[in-house]
Structure 1
Amino acid sequence: MSADEIIENSVPRNKQQQMQEDETEENVDAENDGGLSHAEVFQAAEKVFKWFSLSSAGKMCDIFTRQDAMSLLQGKYILMLGDSNMRSLYKDLIWLLETNTLIESHQLRTKMEKSFLGDKLTAGDKLHKARNFTETRVYENHNVRVKYSFLTKCYSEEVKNMLGAIKSGASYCPDVVVVNSCLWDISRWGPNGVPDYKDNMVKLMRLFKSCLPKQTCVIWMTTLPISASCRGGFLIKQVEFLRHTMRFEVMEANMYARDVVASFGFDVLDVHYYMRMQIHRRSSDGVHWLPSAMRHITNLLLTHIDLAFPGATEFGGSEPTFGLILSRAFLYERL
């Protein structure tokens, strides 16, 4: 059953008739734009809340133990693409799977180690701040496979080659793709970084559509909040002046990326929204986050996978994903 059918079926017939008779100009405009009306958004939200209440009584939980995470990810391949914060998320997920404890701070700061809790560094040999920096790590244990690749650009030859290999069968097809790219895109690729980022986001979504099967769950993670005095590998001396406005550009980029991703039918996990009130858990560099914050994000991701991945919840694969309905609702929250 499609997402539109679920939303339509959740509205009583007599109310649908009344809505059609008393339709406001605002709803007419929304229909003309091919989007959801306010009433449909509210009905979708009610459906989501109902899923939450039913899932909380079953196997879904907000705080995942090692056993919970292993049960959810058993036999799955998770592909994670992004910057250093995505690396931290990758490490925290592996730490949870291996130790069931909170990751140590220095482990989040370490880069390019040959092995981390049994994973392997498969690409990258030297730490530097250039745009051609690469780091690829693969974890395979407990019948769970997690791969991480560092991105300095959301759409690049590296990404095209990676997705092309998946399409041709030369590489494993992931069950879940978790991706984010922003800070490097808009700061390190010249004066046209922002317009290029907009174009590349559309190209990336088209690439996902053409190379990944429908059963693969693609989750775009918004960029985390940064401080007004941030510092990090992407802010080299030549672009340090950007630090004072980057936090605003991140918010604009998140809004744009969220709309593009949802328009292609993929899921959005808005970690910027969840972490904006957790600034006290951000590291002193204004970009990275403390272990407790990263575990919160890991739980958010696992919760989303539990709800959104086809067949992962008691509703089965025939229902629309939680992320898809919520992402579509987000598009019209400013109406």
Structure 2
Amino acid sequence: MKNFVSHNQASQLLHNKFVVVLGDSIQRAVYKDLVLLLQKERFLTQSQLRTKGEMSFEQDCLIEGGCLHEMHNGTAYREVRQFQSNHHLVRFYFVTRVYSQYMQSVLEDFRQSLKPDVVIINSCIWDISRYSRDWTDDYKENLHRFFEELKQILPEETLIIWNLTMPLGEKIKGGFLVPEIEHMASHLRYDVAEANFYSGTLADAYKIDAVDFHFHFRFSLHRRSKDGVHWDNVAHRKITSVLLQHAAEAWGVALPSSQAASDRRPMRTDHNGHRAVSHSGYHGNEHIKQDDFTSRSDFNFEPYRQNPHQDVLRNQYAPRHTYAPYCPRRRDRYNYY
């Protein structure tokens, strides 16, 4: 893992952006960590990670489902949340299947209303455990239908990121693991690895970015919760950082320096006169404190074609056009602005 992304970096990178997060309870925590980071330099608490369906979380609001209706662990559970500030809009949809009648209604929201700038998606564990023992054909077919329809609805400029499912524990328990499927728990982690292969391959075929969190967290299993499914607050900040760094790479911008954003000192220049960007550093200290954003390392982001991101399954086939105020533009892509 390179760096944690700071509050200033996240806020400026996503300035005037509409971000949608789709998925299960882990994706809900991805949404929550992003909403929190856009407002303050703090990690999620354990209570915030565990709670679902609450009326409000850090100035967001519950739009549909959750505690407004019956709280349960069934496949029909719904939860739609939204955070809105003067310059940010983030929405979350809880989904239990990558393509279903409910997912079609979500896609119809995209078709009829505001188009998101970023869509972060994962749907796997419920798909391969709650609907059929022989899940392979159904899952692949639903992925095909979802990716195809999503690409038709969203404009080319929308950044779509498919998150590969993170590694499960040998012994797991969770809301999705109802008594009827407890016998699947022992081998579900192998099914997840197989499903990741299918979804990552299909995402590549549809020219959708796939971020391999299963690979990325293979040596961070101590950050996994005791239930063998969910992850702690440090892991989720790492997830957020990978996603935002990937968005910055895809848009061809450099994340603004946390130090420069806070004290407005002039930026350094290299021997060619280009601006060098300093980033808050994460140096592998797994026992990081919640306010430990002080150490820094200096480097420049490089284009995908020269230095592929280690956690991205495929590179972008074409540059993306985006409006990202306050973010230094990458010198190799000035001609796109």
| Aligned twin of 1:148 | 92
Identity, % of aligned positions: 36
Q: How does 1:16-27 map to 2 (within 5 A)?
A: none
Please tell me whether the aligned partners of residues 102 and 292 of structure 1 are also in contact (alpha carbons under 8 angstroms).
Answer: yes
Structure with the largest fraction of helix: 1
Counterpart-to-counterpart distance in 2, 1:171 and 1:83:
23
Deviation at 1:83, TM superposition (A): 0.4
Deviation at 1:192, TM superposition (A): 3.6
One-letter amino acid of the counterpart of residue 180, structure 2: Q
Answer with 124-133 or 240-249: which moved more. 124-133
One-letter amino acid of the counterpart of residue 85, structure 2: N
One-letter amino acid of the counterpart of residue 27, structure 2: M
| Aligned twin of 1:114 | 55
RMSD of Structure 2 on Structure 1 (CA): 2.4
Deviation at 1:274, TM superposition (A): 0.8
Among 65, 79, 83, the alignment partner of 1:139 is 83
SS at match of 1:256: helix
Deviation at 1:193, TM superposition (A): 2.6
Q: How does 1:235-274 map to 2 (within 5 A)?
A: 235-274=177-216
Please tell me whether the aligned partners of residues 112 and 126 of structure 1 are also in contact (alpha carbons under 8 angstroms).
Answer: no
SS at match of 2:116: coil
Are positions 1:185 and 2:127 aligned together? yes
Among 65, 72, 88, the alignment partner of 2:29 is 88
| Aligned twin of 2:107 | 163
| Aligned twin of 1:306 | 248
Q: Which structure 2 segments of 5+ residues have no match?
A: 256-299, 316-337
Deviation at 1:162, TM superposition (A): 1.9
Counterpart-to-counterpart distance in 1, 2:202 and 2:27:
20
Q: Map Cα deviations across residues 253-284 of structure 1 (whole Å, 9 max, x no partner).
A: 11111000011111011111111110001100
One-letter amino acid of the counterpart of residue 83, structure 2: Y
SS at match of 2:39: helix
TM-score normalised by L of structure 1:
0.75
Please tell me whether the aligned partners of residues 283 and 290 of structure 1 are also in contact (alpha carbons under 8 angstroms).
Answer: yes
SS at match of 1:287: coil
Deviation at 1:164, TM superposition (A): 2.3
Give aligned pairs, total: 265
Counterpart-to-counterpart distance in 1, 2:314 and 2:211:
12
Answer with 192-201 or 238-247: which moved more. 192-201
Are positions 1:62 and 2:3 aligned together? yes
One-letter amino acid of the counterpart of residue 172, structure 2: C
One-letter amino acid of the counterpart of residue 188, structure 2: M
SS at match of 1:138: strand
SS at match of 1:257: helix
Are positions 1:327 and 2:327 aligned together? no
Deviation at 1:209, TM superposition (A): 1.4
| Aligned twin of 1:232 | 174
Are positions 1:216 and 2:158 aligned together? yes
TM-score normalised by L of structure 2:
0.74
Runs of 4+ aligned structure 1 residues displaced above 6 Å come to 318-323
Q: Map Cα deviations across residues 52-93 of structure 1 (whole Å, 9 max, x no partner).
A: xxxxxxxxx832111110000000001100000000111111
| Aligned twin of 1:30 | none
Deviation at 1:98, TM superposition (A): 1.8
One-letter amino acid of the counterpart of residue 206, structure 1: E
Counterpart-to-counterpart distance in 2, 1:82 and 1:165:
16
Counterpart-to-counterpart distance in 2, 1:238 and 1:152:
17
Please tell me whether the aligned partners of residues 210 and 314 of structure 2 are also in contact (alpha carbons under 8 angstroms).
Answer: no
| Aligned twin of 1:105 | 46
Counterpart-to-counterpart distance in 1, 2:114 and 2:252:
20
Among 132, 141, 145, the alignment partner of 1:203 is 145
Deviation at 1:312, TM superposition (A): 3.5
Deviation at 1:158, TM superposition (A): 1.8
Q: Which structure 1 segments of 5+ residues have no match?
A: 1-60, 330-335
SS at match of 2:75: coil
